[in-house]
Amino acid sequence: MESWVKGFSLATAIAALYDAAFDLLIRERDGTNLDGIQETFVKNPLTELPFDYDPTTRKISEGNLPADWDIEPLTLPKL
């Protein structure tokens, strides 16, 4: 049961990461300059902290989880 809970929790965090990406892309499409943004409005449900955003690489990542909870960073496409 413990591995199922970990898998479900990880899937929830990954879904929130994609929500954060869509939020940033919508804001960019509506005219917001993402260069000054360091974190997203969407929070990781596991840590209750916003996801990190690097405007130089356009990557959204989660730096607050243990190493064995491997969540790959997402790179935003250029609009």
Query: According to the model, what pLDDT value does residue 6 have?
Result: 85
Q: State the pTM of this model.
A: 0.88
Residue 64 CA, chain-centre distance (Å), reads 11
pLDDT tens string 23-72: 999 999 999 999 999 999 999 998 899 999 999 999 999 877 777 777 88
